Amino acid sequence: MCGIVGFTKKKYRSACCLEVLLNGLENLEYRGYDSAGIAVSDMEHQELKLCRAVGRISNLRRVVEEEKPEGSCGIGHTRWATHGKPSVENCHPHLAEKKTVAVVHNGIIENYQALKLQLQKEGVHFASQTDTEVVAQLLEKQYCGDMKKTLERVLPQLEGSFALAILDRNQPDTIYCARRRSPLLLAKGEDGAYLASDISALLDYTRDVWYIDEDSIAVLTPEEIMFWKDGEQQFPQSVHINWDSSAARKNGFDHFMLKEIFDQPTALRDTLNHYVDVEKGIIRRETMPFTMEQAKALKRLTIAACGTAYHAAVMGQSLLEQVAGVPAMAAVASEYRYSTMPPMEGEVFMAVSQSGETADTLAALTHKKAQGLRCLALSNVIGSTIAREADHVMYTLAGPEIAVASTKAYLTQVLLFEILALDLANLRGVLSDEELKVRIAELAQLPEQVEAILASKKTVEDFVQTQKNCHDIFFIGRLMDYASSLEAALKLKEISYLHSEAYAAGELKHGTIALVDESCLVVVTATQSVVLEKTLANMEEVRARGAELLLLGHFPVDHPHDCTVWNIPACSDQLAPILTTVYAQLFAYYMAKMHGCDIDKPRNLAKSVTVE
Ligand code: F6R
């Protein structure tokens, strides 16, 4: 989705403002966009200069090279069209009619039509179809000689969500910002002050950032950043992000997705070591969200999330129930945010979100918080909105995830559910300290087991070459294998655009089996011993309809199943779905590559979905 970057440079520093803006926008490309633009304050001519282009940042670079705008303070934006088609006119930044104000915006101004109509009645002419232009026009129209005061007057008129960065022609070294339900972070570096909607844009310059509070204003000059809320100046603490900027590069891999699949052993190790003392076989108490008393009082954990994070939640639901005996419910956040169910005594809510910014997940959390529930979050981004809104956060230590298709975030989310379930089981007295040690020792083997699967990527690649004509793929499994099948099917469809569906293996014959014929591939995941025979029987049902079969699990070399088998290393039933998922990720990746798809930036998708 849309991305914002801004920079105001100190005098006599060598940094080039245009380069900081363009580089920042390039680092935000992974979020998905269809056009991009920058605005700079040209001090000498006292004007705001715009450069905008449809398509890739390389197109914008060409426009910048041709027009050579000058300035040491500017804002930039990558746009993912919502109001108005991708075109230069609709591209951000937007200038107000008299060109005194330039604005970039993430989010949606829900009442923009009413505001636009009113401004048009007052004689204002609009140049675009966007909701954002309304903000620029309002700021110019209601300008009182002080942009901060003008913003304080304009912001209450806006309904919806926004992260705004604003240039005022009268203050050519200053950037004004404001936010409501859309992320924005600010930073000071040696060369000046920065802002961005996402830390990835700033990793080349700094690691210490400030988050702006909801409905607050920030003012950036080259030397300082000031924060204001309800007319009062605020002094928030900065947050240190210890991501390495090289973690946000491809490092020799063809795609970020493949690199991130290969990052998984490290991501699992880092996450595990943060929460668990593997040598002592204990969970680090201070990292966990429940005390013994709270664990015993827990009656239900409701988990809301979207997409892949929802699939991790489904996995979490099984783990919490099986391992800790805690009733749990995974819910799709876009539905659950409208749930009318009253909170239950002993219920705790959890939001799962890699980015920590997904609008529906945030709304579900806000809804539950308003009902008075204790709210936990599981996120990959330190200081993200969901992390800040929650009462307790468990961070996955996966590092920056750039590919739109989530891989390492998912695996570490499931790992955290494993750890949480073990901790709750131990605190509730259903798992002894000795048993916990054994389970931790199993967890500690996961990174190497994932490495072993990654080492067999050629097997996956070769199999994919036999599937050139396959256009319908079903993923079936039972219990936790059904949960991992959901994720396998999503991964494949989102990056290869092939039709794929996941079914609980026993459910297939209640309708969908009508679609199965010799043109289909059915991927059967069978790792759950309690239902193993039943899953294999379901496999025979699809074989009988002529489908080609691929079987994932642990099977002896001389297995009797007449189909391709991909084995995972020996492990418990609870950890097996993590390992089969690695095969599914590689399978999706090579299928998409064979079909020539834009793997890191699949069509119509955005990395962080910050609108409803
Ligand atoms: C799919 C994918 C998406 C996200 C979903 C939620 O590969 O990445 O389905 O999982 O948009 O995003 P987060 O986890 O950032 O809330």
Same domain, 411 and 467: no
Same domain, 146 and 175: yes
| DSSP 8-state class, residue 105 | E
From ligand 1's centre to the CA of 180, what distance in Å? 21
Same domain, 276 and 388: yes
Residue 612 lies in a domain: no
22: tokens are: 């363009």
Domain stop point among 193, 223, 246? 246
Residue 368 lies in a domain: yes
Task: Tell me the helix, strand and coil percentages in the chain, rounded to 5.
Answer: 40, 25, 35
pTM recorded for the entire structure? 0.80
Instruction: Give the chain's domain count.
Output: 3
pLDDT, residue 83, reads: 79
How far apart are the C-alpha atoms of 560 and 536, rounded to whole Å? 11
Task: Kindly tell me if the per-residue pLDDT of 31 is higher than 80.
Answer: no
Same domain, 433 and 367: yes
Residue that has been written with the tokens 């107000």 in this structure: 96
Residue 451 lies in a domain: no
- The residue among 198 and 303 whose pLDDT is bigger is 303
Residue 605 lies in a domain: no
Which of ligand 1's atoms lies nearest the C-alpha of 405? 7
Task: Kindly tell me if the per-residue pLDDT of 477 is higher than 90.
Answer: yes
How far apart are the C-alpha atoms of 539 and 202, rounded to whole Å? 50
How far apart are the C-alpha atoms of 365 and 373, rounded to whole Å? 9
Task: pLDDT band for 536, please (50, 70, 90 cuts).
Answer: very high
Query: What would the pLDDT profile of 292-309 be if each residue is shown by its tens digit?
Result: 999 999 999 999 999 999
The residue-averaged pLDDT of 167-175 equals 96
450: tokens are: 């994932």
CB distance 267 to ligand 1 below 6 Å: no
Same domain, 332 and 277: yes
E-strand stretches of 480-519 = 499-504
527: tokens are: 């790792």
The residue-averaged pLDDT of 318-346 equals 95
From ligand 1's centre to the CA of 349, what distance in Å? 19
Q: Which one from 9, 116, 141, 607 is the annotated catalytic residue? A: 607
Task: pLDDT band for 213, please (50, 70, 90 cuts).
Answer: confident
Same domain, 427 and 467: no
Peptide bond into 560 cis (omega under 30): no
From ligand 1's centre to the CA of 405, what distance in Å? 7
Assess whether 16 carries a catalytic annotation: no
pLDDT, residue 546, reads: 92
Same domain, 300 and 341: yes
For residue 283, the enclosing domain spans 254-444
pLDDT, residue 177, reads: 97
From ligand 1's centre to the CA of 609, what distance in Å? 8
Query: What would the pLDDT profile of 413-467 be if each residue is shown by its tens digit?
Result: 999 999 999 999 999 999 999 999 999 999 999 999 999 999 999 999 999 999 9
Same domain, 103 and 229: yes
pLDDT, residue 356, reads: 93
Same domain, 174 and 313: no
> Residue 231 sits in a domain of what CATH number?
3.60.20.10
Residue that has been written with the tokens 């830390």 in this structure: 199
CB distance 309 to ligand 1 below 6 Å: yes
Assess whether 2 carries a catalytic annotation: yes
Residue 581 lies in a domain: yes
Domain stop point among 392, 414, 444? 444
Which of ligand 1's atoms lies nearest the C-alpha of 307? 9
Same domain, 208 and 184: yes
**Cα-only R_g, the chain:** 26
pLDDT, residue 29, reads: 83
Mean model confidence pLDDT for the chain: 93
Probe ligand 1: pick from 261, 308, 396, 411, max atoms within 8 Å of CB? 308
CB distance 306 to ligand 1 below 6 Å: yes
Task: Kindly tell me if the per-residue pLDDT of 489 is higher than 80.
Answer: yes
Same domain, 311 and 407: yes
Task: pLDDT band for 45, please (50, 70, 90 cuts).
Answer: confident
How far apart are the C-alpha atoms of 571 and 579, rounded to whole Å? 9
From ligand 1's centre to the CA of 406, what distance in Å? 6
Which of ligand 1's atoms lies nearest the C-alpha of 354? 14
Q: Choose among 67, 18, 54, 55: nearest CA to 38.
A: 18
pLDDT, residue 221, reads: 97
pLDDT, residue 15, reads: 74
Residue 609 lies in a domain: no
135: tokens are: 């903000």
How far apart are the C-alpha atoms of 481 and 556, rounded to whole Å? 19
Residue 19 lies in a domain: yes
Which residue minimizes the CA distance to atom 7 of ligand 1?
A: 405
> Residue 407 sits in a domain of what CATH number?
3.40.50.10490
Query: What would the pLDDT profile of 582-605 be if each residue is shown by its tens digit?
Result: 999 999 999 999 999 999 888 877
Same domain, 97 and 68: yes
Domain stop point among 246, 281, 305? 246
Burial (0-12, 13-18, 19+ Cβ within 10 Å), 303: buried
Task: Kindly tell me if the per-residue pLDDT of 481 is higher than 90.
Answer: yes
Residue 56 lies in a domain: yes
Phi and psi at residue 378, in whole multiples of 5°?
-125, 115
